């Protein structure tokens, strides 16, 4: 491996590396069976990465990452043991298996432990277009980060910078179990970000922008990311407090993603079987207006979390988690499904590539639809309880009057209950942010409590 990591097929030979990882997985499964395991699953990974950070036109950090490892889970009956190692030599695999078996012999039996049923495992492995290695040494990464920050710092009103970053990562993984399943995955990811400050003294404002994709050619120009960070910081200058009251609230896409994330957290198996979710036993109930749909697309080409199988080898399938406003089901792994007396949904490892479809009243002009209210561009704090559904976050954004943005606001608290917020969605916009695992546009809530002055 060269000093300046080349993110290319040559620096991490995909097929040769996957073959080696698969050989380690098969050997670990064989060793586990020989050591007395009645069932076992093994995952091995290899990754290569480069990350640079610059600030005020100077390089601050350059990181080269190279990581390999293996995780082994064995079951003796329904007793489970886990062990992992960053060393893939045979003697280390043997030691890792021994530790996992020793742990299993002393753990409490759990009737829900066990591999996924063989008939649920993936049989086809389509190319999801996730592998896009391109030459990227430290000099090229630094140049891109400097372009990003430089463009932002050059905008009027910008007074300081917290820096810009660029990263490139390649990852390979193999998962196998004693039900005869072995699956291989390979993916690349590239990202850039910039954080800038506008104004001076006590009136300074900070904001950011970023982009992340599977293919570097899909990234927006670095200058665009820097200028967007500058635009966001400058337009927050002169922020005021807002008078306390009930009003419509429009969440910007980057904030709306968090609301969808709270929904997924509340319908995830671990929260449900622990009785730690306000949506337990709500499958089949209407949570949203009847026009709203939330789709999961695990096989989306170039998707951030696309995969043909989940973390247990179970085949992934597209579905509507919310269909015509109704919660159709949960987000379950094999274990959590068994705890709930249900079947796995192929979501070991989480939900994948969610899309909140646009719809509702006037989705093309949500400011006009809300009239007077609050446009939230940032939230902060940890005031969300998935147990009760209570929602309370610090917020900043813009006052909306007569369907138009008028002035920036800050030091606010927005509060309500998630259940009420879901039911009070008026519209979801067409300006969909396709970065990351949750794709959605702005989301308009009919009314929330906004606490200011």
pLDDT digits (tens, 9 = 90+) for 314-341: 999 999 999 999 999 999 999 999 999 9
Query: pLDDT tens digits, residue range 365-413?
Result: 999 999 999 999 999 998 999 999 999 999 999 999 999 999 999 999 9
Query: In the prediction, which pLDDT does 4 show?
Result: 40
Residues 49-61 as b/e (b if ≥16 CB within 10 A, e otherwise) read: bbbbbbbeeeeee
Query: pLDDT tens digits, residue range 133-149?
Result: 988 899 999 999 999 99
Query: In the prediction, which pLDDT does 322 show?
Result: 98
Q: What pLDDT band is residue 5 in, cutting at 50, 70 and 90?
A: very low
Q: What pLDDT band is residue 13 in, cutting at 50, 70 and 90?
A: confident
pTM above 0.85, yes or no: yes
- Mean pLDDT of all residues in 76-103: 96
Domains and CATH numbers, the chain: 14-234 (3.30.2290.10), 245-451 (no CATH)
Does residue 119 register a pLDDT over 80? yes
Query: In the prediction, which pLDDT does 199 show?
Result: 94
Does residue 12 register a pLDDT over 70? no
Query: In the prediction, which pLDDT does 444 show?
Result: 97
Q: What pLDDT band is residue 362 in, cutting at 50, 70 and 90?
A: confident
């Amino acid at each position: 491996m060269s000093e300046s990591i080349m993110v290319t097929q040559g620096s991490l030979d995909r097929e040769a590396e996957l073959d080696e990882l698969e050989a380690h997985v098969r050997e670990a499964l064989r060793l586990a069976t020989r050591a007395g395991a009645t069932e076992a699953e093994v995952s091995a990974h290899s990754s290569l990465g480069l990350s640079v950070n610059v600030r005020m036109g100077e390089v601050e950090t350059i990181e080269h990452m190279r990581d390999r490892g293996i995780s082994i889970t064995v079951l003796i009956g329904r007793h489970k043991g886990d062990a992992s190692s960053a060393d893939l030599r045979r003697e280390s695999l043997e030691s890792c298996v021994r530790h996992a078996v020793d742990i299993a012999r002393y753990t409490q039996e759990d009737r829900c432990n066990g591999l996924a049923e063989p008939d649920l495992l993936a049989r086809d492995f389509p190319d999801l277009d996730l592998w896009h290695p391109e030459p990227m040494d430290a000099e090229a990464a630094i140049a891109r980060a400097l372009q990003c920050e430089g463009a932002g710092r050059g905008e009027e009103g910008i007074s300081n910078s917290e820096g810009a970053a660029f990263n490139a990562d390649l990852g390979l993984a193999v998962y196998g179990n004693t039900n005869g399943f072995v699956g291989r995955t390979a993916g690349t990811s590239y990202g850039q970000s910039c954080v800038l400050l506008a104004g001076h003294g006590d009136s300074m404002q900070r904001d950011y922008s970023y982009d992340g994709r599977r293919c570097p050619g899909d990234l927006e120009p670095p200058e665009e990311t820097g200028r967007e960070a500058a635009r966001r910081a400058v337009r927050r200058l002169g922020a005021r407090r807002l008078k306390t009251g009930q009003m419509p609230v429009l969440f910007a896409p980057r904030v709306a993603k968090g609301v969808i994330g709270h929904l997924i957290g509340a319908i995830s198996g671990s929260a449900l079987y622990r009785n730690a979710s306000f949506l337990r036993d709500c499958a089949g109930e209407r949570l949203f207006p009847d026009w709203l749909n939330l789709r999961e697309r695990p096989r989306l080409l170039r998707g951030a979390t696309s995969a043909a199988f989940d973390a247990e080898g179970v085949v992934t399938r597209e579905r509507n988690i919310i269909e015509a406003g109704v919660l159709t089901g949960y987000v379950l792994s094999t274990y959590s499904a068994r705890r709930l007396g249900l079947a796995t949904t192929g979501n070991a490892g989480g939900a994948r590539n969610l899309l909140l479809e646009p719809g509702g009243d006037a989705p093309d002009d949500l400011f006009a639809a809300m009239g007077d209210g609050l446009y939230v561009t940032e939230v902060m704090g940890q005031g969300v309880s998935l147990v009760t559904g209570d929602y309370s976050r610090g917020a900043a954004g813009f006052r909306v009057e007569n369907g138009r943005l008028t002035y920036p606001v800050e030091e606010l608290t927005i509060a309500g209950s998630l259940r009420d917020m879901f039911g009070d969605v008026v519209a979801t916009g067409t300006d969909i942010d396709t970065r990351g695992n949750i794709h959605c546009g702005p989301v308009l809530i009919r009314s929330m409590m906004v606490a200011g002055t």
